[in-house]
Amino acid sequence: MIRMNWLPSSNNYLFCIAFLSFGCIGQAQNSLQEYKTAYPNFNELVLNDAQNYTISIKDKKLKIIQDNQYESMILSENGIQNNQESFSYSELVKLNSYDAYTVINDNGKERKIKVTQTTEKQAQESSVFYNDIKERQLTFPNLEAGAKKVYHYQTEYIDPYLLHQFIFGSNFPVINSSLEIKTDKEINIGYTIFNDPKNTIAFSKTEKKGKWIYKWTLNNIKPVKYESNSPGYLYLIPTLSIFIKDYTVDGKTIPVLGTEQNLFDYYKGFVKNLNEKEDPDLKALTLDITKNQTNDVDKIKSIFYWVKDNIKYIAFENGYEGFIPREASFVYKRKFGDCKDMASIISGMAKYANIPNTTIAWIGTRSIPYTYAELPTPSVDNHMIAIFKSGEEYLFLDATDKETRYGIPTAFIQGKEAMFNNNGAYKIIPVPVVPAEKNEIKEVVKLAIDKTKLVGSGTMELSGYNRSHTLSRIGDASNKTRFEMIKSLVLKGNNKFNLKEFKEENITEREKPYAIAFTFDLDNYIIKVDKEIYINLFLDKIYDKLTIEKDRISKFQFEFLTLNTIQYELEIPKNYTVKYLPKNCSIDNALLKADLIYTLKDTKLQLNISISQKKLLLDTTDFELWNETIKKLKTNYTETLILLEK
């Protein structure tokens, strides 16, 4: 099951709080054989997945109780292996009660077997800090084909701003999924439905015993299909985001959420007293590392890189610490922190250095598809950064990625929106998508023919995200491991590629491209027939394996845009001339721009390749054009140069 019940999100930014609901019991059910016939390729089936809220006013405050219920059936012997389920809770979503049991068929009658093997553990056992998120793990006994896993638990929301989302889907088929909210009439709720273009979710609003009852139901839900390069389930699965707009007590209406201003008012309460007390040691350090800088840009850059190099990123949460940045002085003393802490110390140090227009900002990563206008609730954010305004330009300072250089945002917030305090009022600004030319992979490769081998030397330079992501993967690998990693980077032609030597430059200089100089030979690559030599100069066939499946459902996401430029220069052997030179090719559409250009000058033949991406997230409507473009590239990749002996 897909789960995000107060557990860390996939990118480890624990500012994110998300929920996946589970089901209920009660409707007439088919037999095991009927279900196996209807779902022949699945080991398990979710029969009911339901969540029920009771929202009332007690002692002039909101009281929110959430009941979660789940029931699934094992359909095959392989399904027995999935004998564990879990749910989470924390200081802000307290666990009131839970129950779990297996239901088996005992001579034609259903019999419950209570779950007795249950453990509570920290959500991140390997953490070096306290984390109050608990995970309750349940192990279901006596599972067999036809048995059911049933559990339900009740939680209480301490903070009414934290109502989140209900997800209508699972990686198993779901027979019934529903969300019901019962409220006092003095409470006004809001909701937004995503990924339901055909309005398949049934909705009703009724009145019962002086309460409003809202209900959303979706039946017979197909399982979520895992697809590579998917931007995430929030882009695909029907999702219902709920929030409380306001409530009335003693004739006074108290706003909660529903507007960007409401959300900002909630957020700013967490940072209103941040970094007011001066820390002499941190101030002295800040003045020391900026003393040789003559302008604010160079000063903030020095601070940004110091934080990257000296404060270790660790994501964690403890109640409202999931929202409140820690004091810069505290982060400085213990030398580690999460995204909010890094934003805090950058902005705090900027204050000591008298750098204006530097503050912290709330932002969502690309795993969250919503804008503030679409969903002005905490569901839209799961990250914090610092921002610096230089002239009319905003710089996004995210120190959680150690390698990313100053001047570009981290890759996972490209195209998103940031909210921050602008002289007491909220301001929302877009984060740009870094253009492909700033993430260039540039190669120059000189080639010569030595009998049956192709021998060569080359240089590779990686800029922008290609630089930072490559160095992050290589890390501190050494000796044979590092050699093999470099070899995979510069690999040419086929598996006969033999890397002889390499030399790296600018490993620690973030402002410069990471560079590799290398020499190699490539055996069994050229073909010689009588007086003719056949060579395919496309030793790198960019995107040739990136054809998108016709039945793909989800969008296709690239981590970042890339410009690949490669120049192959072949020294034509003495006594040979060019018999056949392939045609040049140029492609320019909404997704890619490509130029494949041959140039012959004296005894040197060059193939200049330039392929640049234009779109970070491909919609399903883009797939046909993408595949047509790749097909055209592949056709040119097969073109072979022919040399003829004089």
- Sequential DSSP letters for 240-282: EEEEEEEEEETTEEEE-SSSHHHHHHHHHTTTTTTT-S--HHH
The single residue listed with the structure tokens 């099951």 is 1
Taking the C-alpha atoms of residue 13 and residue 124, their distance in angstroms, rounded to an integer, is 13
Neighbour count for residue 117 (Cβ, 10 Å): 12
Taking the C-alpha atoms of residue 340 and residue 360, their distance in angstroms, rounded to an integer, is 8
pLDDT at residue 26 is higher than 60:
no
pLDDT at residue 286 is higher than 80:
yes
Among candidate residues 171, 165, 135, 169, the one with its CA nearest the CA of residue 153: 135
Residues 447-470 pLDDT 10s: 999 988 999 999 999 999 999 999
Least confident of 19-33, 169-183, 190-204: 19-33
Write down the mean pLDDT value for the chain.
Answer: 91
Residue spans per domain, the chain:
32-238, 268-430, 436-645
In this structure, are residues 164 and 17 in contact, taking their beta carbons and an 8 Å threshold? yes
Q: What's the confidence (pLDDT) of residue 377?
A: 95
In this structure, are residues 520 and 455 in contact, taking their beta carbons and an 8 Å threshold? yes
Residues 495-542 pLDDT 10s: 899 999 999 999 999 999 999 999 999 998 999 999 999 999 999 999
pLDDT at residue 318 is higher than 60:
no
Neighbour count for residue 357 (Cβ, 10 Å): 15
Q: What's the confidence (pLDDT) of residue 29?
A: 62
Taking the C-alpha atoms of residue 642 and residue 528, their distance in angstroms, rounded to an integer, is 10
Q: Return the sign of the alpha-carbon dihedral for residues 486, 490, 496, 498.
A: negative
Q: What's the confidence (pLDDT) of residue 90?
A: 84
Q: What's the confidence (pLDDT) of residue 92?
A: 86
Q: Name the helix (H) or strand (E) containing 545.
A: none
DSSP 8-state assignment for residue 100: E
Tokens (6 digits) for 100: 């779990």
pLDDT at residue 3 is higher than 60:
no
In this structure, are residues 182 and 215 in contact, taking their beta carbons and an 8 Å threshold? no
Which CATH code, of 1.10.3720.10, 2.60.40.3140, 1.10.150.110, 2.60.40.10, is assigned to 32-238? 2.60.40.3140
The pLDDT-based confidence of 554 (bands split at 50, 70, 90) is very high
224: CB partners within 8 A, 6+ apart: 2, 169, 170, 171, 233, 236, 237
Tokens (6 digits) for 488: 């995979």
Taking the C-alpha atoms of residue 608 and residue 112, their distance in angstroms, rounded to an integer, is 71
Q: Return the sign of the alpha-carbon dihedral for residues 406, 610, 415, 231.
A: negative
In this structure, are residues 300 and 350 in contact, taking their beta carbons and an 8 Å threshold? yes
Taking the C-alpha atoms of residue 138 and residue 2, their distance in angstroms, rounded to an integer, is 16
Provide the pairing of β-strand 174-184 with 44-58.
parallel
The single residue listed with the structure tokens 């980077």 is 489
Among candidate residues 426, 423, 430, the one with its CA nearest the CA of residue 409: 430
What percentage of the chain carries pLDDT values higher than 70? 93
Among candidate residues 439, 429, 431, 366, the one with its CA nearest the CA of residue 405: 439
Q: What is the 3-state secondary structure (H, E, C) of 411-439?
A: HHHCCCEEEEEECCEEEEEECCCCCHHHH
Among candidate residues 44, 105, 100, the one with its CA nearest the CA of residue 69: 100
Q: How far is CA 43 from CA 48, 146, 149, 318, 326, in A?
A: 16, 10, 13, 37, 46
Q: What's the confidence (pLDDT) of residue 619?
A: 96
Neighbour count for residue 553 (Cβ, 10 Å): 12
User: Helices (H) and strands (E) in the chain — how many of each?
Assistant: 9, 36
Considering only the top CATH level, what class is 268-430? alpha beta
DSSP 8-state assignment for residue 22: B
Q: What's the confidence (pLDDT) of residue 322?
A: 60
What percentage of the chain carries pLDDT values higher than 90? 85
Taking the C-alpha atoms of residue 188 and residue 256, their distance in angstroms, rounded to an integer, is 10
Q: What's the confidence (pLDDT) of residue 242?
A: 96
What are the start-end ranges of the E strands in 134-186?
134-139, 148-157, 165-167, 174-184
In this structure, are residues 19 and 376 in contact, taking their beta carbons and an 8 Å threshold? no
Least confident of 14-18, 41-45, 205-209, 569-573: 14-18
Average pLDDT over residues 24-32: 57
- Four-CA torsion 169, 68, 214, 264, nearest 10 degrees: -80
The pLDDT-based confidence of 251 (bands split at 50, 70, 90) is very high
pLDDT at residue 385 is higher than 60:
yes
Longest dimension (CA), the chain: 101
Which fold is adopted by the domain 436-645? Jelly Rolls (2.60.120)
Taking the C-alpha atoms of residue 382 and residue 368, their distance in angstroms, rounded to an integer, is 8
In this structure, are residues 526 and 454 in contact, taking their beta carbons and an 8 Å threshold? yes
Residues 70-98 pLDDT 10s: 999 999 999 999 999 999 888 889 999 99
pLDDT at residue 284 is higher than 80:
yes
3-class SS of residue 516: strand
pLDDT at residue 18 is higher than 90:
no
